[in-house]
A = this chain, B = another copy of it.
Amino acid sequence: MSEKTALTPATHTTPPAKFSHGVKKGNILQVAGQVGFLPAVPGQPPTPAGPTLREQTLQTFANVRAILEEGGATWDDVMMMRVYLTDTDHFAEMNEIYNQYFEEQGLTQAPAARTTVYVGLPKGLLIEIDALAVLS
């Protein structure tokens, strides 16, 4: 009998609705869709890290990672990343950023599976990522 617990990093803005940034139950950890918002500043609305794909992607990774860490997980535990882009022309650049980032993270196990699709996102946002992790 395990409980579902919310994973709420101190850096994160309050979700705009009754959902959790991440949840963990037993050995399953689910990260909600993250975007490139900077760490929350009280009294200010969520602000993207910048207008570029690179800035937003790196901030999105940082936001996913903060939730994983809150749940005692690392990138090595991630089974699946869902990457939502708004423009097929961003695929190559996203992959470059993705590869460089995960090189630097020092994965010790197989990289996660991934699906990338092209959708609409709120104005100003170029990327959204969610993740499913299975802890050891």
Contacts and interface: CB of A to CB of B under 8 A. Distances in A.
Number of copies: 3
A15 B95 CA distance: 10
Contact of A115 (B103, B112, B130, B136): B130
Nearest to A136: B1
Contact of A5 (B4, B18, B110, B115): B110
Nearest to A86: B120
Size category of the binding interface on chain A: 35 or more
A45 interface: no
Interface in A15-29: 15-23, 25-28
A128 B112 contact: no
Report the 3 A-B pairs with minimum CB-CB distance, sorted nearest first.
A118-B120, A33-B115, A6-B110
